[in-house]
Amino acid sequence: MTATLARSATGPELRLRWGLFAQRDFRLLWAGQTVSRLGSSVTTVALPLVAVLTLGTGPLAAGLLTSAIWLPWLLFGLPAGVWVGRAPRRIVMIACNLGSAVLLASVPVAGWLGVLTLAQLLAVAFLGGVCSVFFDAADQAYLPELVAPANLIEGNAKLQGSGSAAEVAGRGLAGLAVQLVGAAAGLLIDAVSFLVAAGTLLRIRARPEQESRAERTEQAEQAERAGLRRQVREGLSFLLRDPYLRAFLCFGAAANFALMGYQAILALFLVREAGIAPGWVGALASAAAVGGVLGAAAARPLCGRLGTARAVRTVLLGAVPLGLLMPLAGPGLGTALYVLGALGVVAAVVFCNVVLGSFRQSYTPPGLLTRVAAGSMFAVHATIPLGALAGGALGEAIGLRPTMWVMTGLLVVAGALPLFSPLRTLRELPAAPSKIGEIIG
């Protein structure tokens, strides 16, 4: 089945009631991604607990594990976009899912055999991060091969919304799994989720990569024959020279810095400064994650009513400043202020991920998409460990509540960055670089 046939399944007669869920291949992709996000949420909680509870390590080991997960983005983020662009996206995603399943399953097996070490956990975290780099680079380019450009916002909204809901459930499931079977065995949940995701990808019938290979533009063919460095430069050049992509890149990098800056100290802040009982910290995190579901659900109707560019402006100016309520957290009403602020921030982040991710997928020339997507993810992921370090250092230097004010203030500033681009004059984001001038005003 070709991409054209796959896209014809999203016609008005099938989408009146179910939208993209009327398309079998999208349903499979959605189901696999949702189950995988559920499992990954369990690992986020369980993996550090394996180091602490099973191996008896301290905070330094937890920090090393976090660094090992994100380090592959710095090492492979840029070349991954080139390498993935030369291979069928679906095959890359299946291989990454299977590799992640094997890596995670090795932890409980080593634990049962009594040979589990911190070195193995670090290796699993690092290699799992490598799989994530290549999977995400392929994933960004795969959805446009399954659905028509007009349906990208709907597709991304469904994927992001169910993913956010899975994260809410995953945190609760992680606590239950750790209590019932132990932290190491809890990682088997994620291993199984990756197998499920690989299985759903295997069942997808469409083979859009075959058609796209036959329809490659001359620019894409020349890029494939070029060297690695040249292809990386071409992707970065397009990303940094384009006024829209550049503005969204700066927003993403700055926002991630601020987000990780306050999240690094959030648990300590809630318990020590806000007076929240430790048992409620997880519940508050789950409540905030509901904002992701709301942001994804609002993306399509809000963009339809206001236009994509106006909708982004509205959310950036209306929802992101709610984050300034979080430093006011305290007992009683202060808890509600924190929840409202966190809901607004998470909803805005997921909304922007849906709309801006869809924009990048439809706007970028197909021959550059994997490189542009990888370059963008490289930049926005690089600020994550920097933000976490800055948040921790500021927390030590000026205190937890002042650090919350600094980081949430930076988040509001980050939300204003796209407004200094041509975004401020548009109703709709452009469909392609050559059409920018036709829709300004």
DSSP string, 133-168: HHHHHHHHHHHHHHS-GGGHHHHHHHHHHHHHHHHH
Whether 121 is in a domain gets the answer yes
29-33, 116-120, 261-265, 341-345: range with lowest mean pLDDT: 261-265
**Which of the residue ranges 171-185, 257-271, 308-322 would you say has the lowest mean pLDDT?**
171-185
Among the candidates 211, 236, 253, a domain finishes at 211
- Asked whether the beta carbons of 329 and 276 are under 8 A apart, the reply is yes
What is the DSSP-derived secondary structure letter of residue 304? Answer: H
CB distance 389 to 257 below 8 Å: no
Q: How many Å apart are CA 220 and CA 211, to the nearest integer?
A: 14
236 and 121 co-located in one domain:
no
The CATH number given to whatever domain includes residue 238 is: 1.20.1250.20
pTM across the whole model? 0.73
How would residue 214 be classed by pLDDT, with cut points 50, 70 and 90? very low
The pair of structure tokens assigned to 341 is 């602020």
Q: What is the pLDDT of residues 390-432, one digit of tens each?
A: 888 888 888 889 999 999 999 999 998 888 888 888 888 887 7
Are residues 423 and 279 part of one domain?
yes
Domain identity same for 307 and 425:
yes
Model confidence at 259: pLDDT above 60: yes
DSSP-derived 3-state class of residue 332: coil
> 10 Å Cβ neighbour count for 399?
15
Amino acid at 383: T
Question: Which residues does 357 contact at the CB level (< 8 Å), separation at least 6?
Answer: 140, 156
Pick left, alpha or beta for residue 302 (phi over 0 → left; psi -120 to 50 → alpha; otherwise beta): alpha
Residue 438 lies in a domain: no
Task: Report the pLDDT averaged over residues 230-246.
Answer: 81
Say how far apart CA 439 and CA 423 lie, in whole Å: 11
Place 63 in a pLDDT band, splitting at 50, 70 and 90.
low
So what's the pLDDT on residue 17?
Answer: 58
3-state secondary structure of 432: coil
For residues 91 and 56, the model is more confident at 91
For Cα atoms 196, 202, 204, give the angle at the middle one, nearest 5 degrees: 110
Tell me the torsion sign for CA atoms 355, 358, 362, 365.
Answer: positive
pLDDT higher than threshold 50 for residue 236: yes
More confident residue, 411 or 206: 411
Residue 216 pLDDT exceeds 50: no
18 and 100 co-located in one domain: yes
Same domain, 298 and 389: yes
d(CA 104, CA 121): 9
Contacts of 16 (CB under 8 A, 6+ apart): none
For residues 92 and 44, membership in a common domain is answered with: yes
pLDDT in tens, 40-60: 777 776 777 777 677 776 656
Token pair belonging to 151? 């349906």
Task: Clarify whether residues 257 and 151 are in a common domain.
Answer: no
The pLDDT of residue 435 is: 45
Q: Clarify whether residues 47 and 114 are in a common domain.
A: yes
Domain final residue pick, 211, 234, 262: 211
Please indicate, yes or no, if residue 439 is contained in any of the structural domains: no
How crowded is residue 384: how many other Cβ atoms within 10 Å of its Cβ? 21
> Two tokens at 202?
């295997």
Looking at the structure of the chain, the number of domains it has is 2
Q: State residue 179's pLDDT score.
A: 66
Round to whole Å and give the CA distance between 49 and 116: 14
Domain of 141 in residue numbering reads as: 1-211
On whether both 312 and 193 belong to a single domain, the answer is no
216 in any annotated domain: no
- Residues 17 and 119 grouped into a single domain: yes
CA angle at 209 for the pair 203 and 214, rounded to the nearest 5°: 145
Residues 97 and 207 in one domain: yes
Given 3-state DSSP classes, what are the helix, strand and coil percentages for the chain, each rounded to the nearest 5?
90, 0, 10
Give the domain-ending residue among 211, 246, 267. Answer: 211
Does residue 55 sit in the same domain as residue 133? yes
Rounded to an integer, the average pLDDT of 149-172 is 77
